[in-house]
Chain A
Amino acid sequence: MSTWFRILIFPGFAFLFIAALAFEWIDRRMIARFQGRIGPPWYQPLADLIKLLAKEDIVPEGTNKFAAAALPILSLTAVLTASLYVPVGGIKGASFEGDLIIVLFLLSLPALAYFLAGWVSSSIYSLLGGHRSLLQYFSYEVPFLMAVACPAILSDSWSITRIVSFQAQTAWHALMQPLAFVLALVGLIGKLKRDPLDIPKAKSEVVAGPLTDYSGRKLALWHLTMTMQTVLGIFLLVNLFFGESRFFNPMPALPIFGLKAAAILVALSTASALYARLRIDQLMDLGWRILAPLALLQMLVTLWIAN
């Protein structure tokens, strides 16, 4: 496969786009089933996207027009760039020693852009939402990074590809360090601002958070960023915690990868349907009093095993 094919088609942008829409549909459909509803048809995410792209794009007075347009593009770019380094079923766009750090960095850029979107807006709800998103970032990011670092430490490599292949020799990292996996999952929910950690965009409290004033194409880009980030976050967790395994060896890698990703998506959807939204102070408590010490504990255990 040529490099261009890998960047643009598979496992690059086109694949990520289709996967994002598919995952959003599965997610919505599953939550609907949990709630006793039927849920939308398969083309609904695409229809929503096209509808938003076609709608009038309003930027209210007092908003920094350049920043309002640049921020969704910036975050989408960051997510697409990160996708190059996340292998899908062993097939990757690019790879080098230390690409895990790049991916983590690129995946936290949208959070910053999200905060700035609230900051440059003239709406009070956007400002409050932006403020909250920053507080939330500080609560989940530290335990998330520590949890994600654990597989890297155990594999003695910061390359995602090497971490994946390392697990073929031993066992899945999710089995060897289950605590790290759970922490990473909680961190991912916070990162994606999904229910029950959708605090920055809580509808009944801050309307739509930083995106309150967004409409049309820019809002569509934001939504696309979020769904792509969901897919990428899930793929990252699959690679780090459910990498290659001897048991699945004769079977084709791609369907197995898809199944693993779907399993994590089920976990995320279940959490969405089951829990009420936390208050921001409750999340801070959870992040710093429970998750961060647990992550530290897991890290010490991992270091001990690695030695």
Chain B
Amino acid sequence: MARTIVPIGPQHPLLKEPIAFQIVVEGEQVTDSTMRMGYVHRGIERLCQERTYIQNLYLLERVCGICSHVHAVTYCRGVESLLGLEVPLRATYLRALLCELERIHSHLLWLGMLARNIGLDTIFMYAWRDREIVLDIMEALSGGRVSHAINTIGGVRQDITPMQREVIWGQLDKLDQQVSRLLRVVEHERSLQARTRGVGHLSLEQVRRYCVVGPIARASGLDVDLRRDEPRPPYDRLNFDVVTHTAGDVWARTLVRMQETLVSVQLCREILRTMPDGPIAVSARRRVPPGEAISRSEAPRGELFYYIRSDGSDRPARVKIRTPTLPSLLSLQIQLKAITIADISVILSGVDLCIACADR
């Protein structure tokens, strides 16, 4: 069979964001692939140097359309450590609440995308319908469904009222019920397993070599989770399990993400139950003393890394963002080998790419 090159992207029904793959196929067999990215590069890191620390908050929230909040939180923590600020405990709880909601929202969105790409539209519709509950909670909390603008340097800008708490509590129950049902369906759906088992396999050693993080690493048996490994308030006061599986294929990633969603719902409940009273922000100076800071968070896709350097002015001298999608993209090189064309959609869905994050 002749060698042919199948272009996937920059525009393709499979992709939700622009990235280009050139897949070399012989018949239905994939033999090689190359990748080109940068279609949504917006120069955000450079723009950060042009704006003040406060303005950057709103810019960095727009790095990603799914995990917008965790970007802002990670940036805030970096700046706060440069300023030597002690953030009030209640503010950390509120930040964590939105982080966990964002994780649920991201994982449900991902499940929908995977299901749609293997032709299981029913699960896609259900997952995205249940995701609406999370978006409603987020809207109630911050006024925004995707961009929340709730962070500020030194804390958060909006508090949660007792009435909101009651409403959210009820919606979390509904969410728990729906996600559990979805998990049961996914666990028993044999046609879904037929498409995802054994596809996109990454061994523990490969995960280590490519520095893959997040749910993909956990699906290969690497027990990493920054919420537990680098404990800081409020996660050092909360009880939660880190979900790991050992199979290392897309099926294991599905299970990891779905079970993590349930863990996150539990975490949201615990955060709401144990949230202490007190102020939600401390005032911060406009000018940041010279120095360097790094800040890491467990974003829905894995470790998010921020490096911030200050030269003493009210603008950062350098902001560097390393997103969890980057190592996933590199690991595609080995995942997209010895497979059929039909597996490409499963593998690309399975790694949960966030191209906007990676391109910045």
Contact = CB atoms under 8 A, between A and B. Distances in A.
SS of A interface (majority): helix
A276 B118 contact: yes
Interface stretch (A144-152, A155-163, A277-285): A277-285
Interface stretch (B37-45, B149-157, B206-214, B336-344): B336-344
A285 to B, nearest CB: 10
Given A124-B6, A196-B119, A204-B13, A279 B340 contact: yes
Interface string A49-93: 000000000000000000000000000000000000000000000
B6 A277 contact: no
A132 B340 CA distance: 12
A261 to B, nearest CB: 24
A192 interface: no
Interface string A195-230: 110110011111100000000000000000000000
Interface stretch (B47-55, B120-128, B231-239, B257-265): B120-128
A279 B343 contact: yes
A128 interface: yes
Given A124-B4, A196-B119, A274-B122, A202 B342 contact: yes
B12 interface: yes
A153 interface: no
A128 B27 CA distance: 8
Q: How large is the interface on B (under 10, 10 to 19, 20 to 34, 35 or more residues)?
A: 20 to 34
A280 B28 contact: yes
Interface in B95-127: 115-122, 125-126
A22 interface: no
Nearest to A203: B13
Contact of A277 (B5, B119, B125, B341): B119
A36 interface: yes
Residue in A128, A203, A204, A277 whose Cβ sees the most chain B Cβ within 10 Å: A204
A125 B13 CA distance: 12
A93 B121 CA distance: 39
B33 interface: no
B344 A275 contact: no
Nearest to B119: A277
Contacts of B194: 276, 278-279, 282
Nearest to B113: A204
Interface residues of A, number: 31
Contacts of A279: 194-195, 340, 342-343
Contacts of A127: 4
Interface string B10-44: 00111000000000000110000000000000000
A268 to B, nearest CB: 15
B122 A35 contact: yes
B286 interface: no
B55 to A, nearest CB: 39
B184 interface: no
Given A203-B13, A205-B341, A280-B342, 17 more contacts: A35-B121, A35-B126, A36-B125, A36-B129, A124-B4, A128-B341, A131-B27, A195-B121, A207-B12, A207-B13, A275-B120, A278-B191, A279-B195, A279-B342, A279-B343, A280-B340, A281-B340
16 contacts: A31-B121, A124-B5, A127-B4, A128-B28, A195-B121, A202-B345, A203-B14, A204-B116, A204-B117, A204-B118, A204-B345, A205-B345, A276-B119, A276-B120, A276-B189, A280-B28
Interface of B: 4-7, 12-14, 27-28, 115-122, 125-126, 129, 189, 191-192, 194-195, 340-345
